[in-house]
Each structure stands twice: as structure tokens, then as C-alpha cells.
Amino acid sequence: MQTNGPDPILIREGYRGKIFLRIPESLWPQLRIELIQLVQSIPEAYFEERHSYWVFPDSPQARSRLAAIIDPHQPRRISASGYFSQADEEALTNELRARKYSPRTITLYINANRSFLQSIKKISSEIQAQDITRFLADKEKEKASASTLNVILSGLRFFYCQVLHRPIFEERKRPKEDKRLPLV
């Protein structure tokens, strides 16, 4: 699942009773007429200019009509619960299982990636190295231990380097071990 191709269409369904749709500029000429007709035919549908996305009421009618227009372009669906899409989770799980990682490690890596993207409020294709630094710094402020930070870093590194093939961890170092006073 590489993200080096053209930007995908993003759909977030079931969030606050709405469907959010972002169309990349490269696909806009192909979809413009159909989307404008769809927005005009569905009450409460509109274009959010500030964030550049389309908003539709989450109804079976809107879902089926959107699917007819958008599904041929293989949109990336973002789950209602957050920015870590179902496709991302499946790709990460499959790669970890193929390498015989334990169920506990799989759960930890998925949770680390989900909480990271939810905290940063971006999808995986938009992540930059400074987002990871900021997230780890926030976790350290919350008094997370070095071992917790290492698990998070391992989960993020595995997902972005091994699954998405994005080299954003080039010079990332592990956190120092926590110093503990000896028991006397």
C-alpha cells in the first residue's frame, strides 16, 4: 500500500451524522459535473470552502449515490472513530501477522498508530517527521515512561517504514532509559 501515486479521494462516513468527502485537484475535472448535480439534489449538502471538502447528510440515499460516483476511483475510507482507516489497520495487521508478531504486539502497534493519528488529526499519507516528534514530546509531558515511548515509536516506525514505505524515521533515536533510584 504505497502512497506515491496520485492523491486518493478521502471519505469519512458516520461522523456527526455526516459524510465528508475530499476530492484531489487531479480528479476534479472528471467528477465536477456529477458532484455539483449531486449536491443540488440532496438537501443539506454543501461544499466547505475553508477546509476544501464536500459535506453530505449521512443517509442511505446519499451513501448509494456517492458510491456510484466515487467507488470507481478507489477512495480511501476513514473510519468514523478516527483517522486510522480500516485499510491502514488491515495492512498493518496483515504485515505483522505475516512476520509472526504476537497478538499483544499487534494490538499495541495498532493502538499506537490509532492514537497518534487521532492526536495529530491527520491521515497517514499527510504525516511528516515533525508530527512524530511533536506527538512523542506530548507523551513525554504526560509522564509516559521510556518503555511506553519505545513501543509507540516501534509501532509508528513499523507502519510507516515497512507497510507504507515512507522514510520519515531516518534519524529518529530512541528515548533514554528512565533512571530509577535503587531500593535500600
- Nearest C-alpha neighbor of 56 from the set 77, 74, 39: 39
The position carrying cell 535503587 is 182
Q: How far apart are CA 138 and CA 151, in angstroms?
A: 15
pLDDT, tens only, 116-132? 888 887 777 778 888 88
pLDDT, tens only, 153-164? 889 989 988 888
61: cell is 440515499
* pLDDT value, residue 97: 93
Q: How far apart are CA 105 and CA 118, in angstroms?
A: 20
* pLDDT value, residue 83: 73
Question: Using the 8-state DSSP alphabet, how is residue 12 labeled?
Answer: E
Q: Do β-strands 18-22 and 46-48 pair in parallel, antiparallel, or remain unpaired?
A: unpaired
Q: How far apart are CA 117 and CA 85, in angstroms?
A: 10
129: cell is 517527521
The share of the chain scoring above pLDDT 90, in percent, equals 10
**Residue 33: count of CB within 10 angstroms of its CB:** 9
Q: How far apart are CA 167 and CA 129, in angstroms?
A: 9
By the 8 A CB rule, do 70 and 62 touch? no
* pLDDT value, residue 123: 77
* pLDDT value, residue 126: 79
pLDDT at 2 over 60: no
The share of the chain scoring above pLDDT 70, in percent, equals 88
Question: Using the 8-state DSSP alphabet, how is residue 123 labeled?
Answer: -
Contacts of 74 (CB under 8 A, 6+ apart): 8, 9
* pLDDT value, residue 71: 83
Instruction: Kindly report whether the global pTM for this prediction surpasses the value 0.75.
Output: no
Split at pLDDT 50, 70, 90, the class of 99 is: very high
Q: Cα–chain-centroid distance for residue 60? A: 24
Measured in degrees and rounded to the nearest 5, phi and psi for residue 55 equal -125, 130
The position carrying cell 509472526 is 100
> Which of 9-23, 44-58, 93-107, 166-180 has maximum average pLDDT?
93-107
Lowest mean pLDDT among 64-68, 84-88, 100-104: 84-88
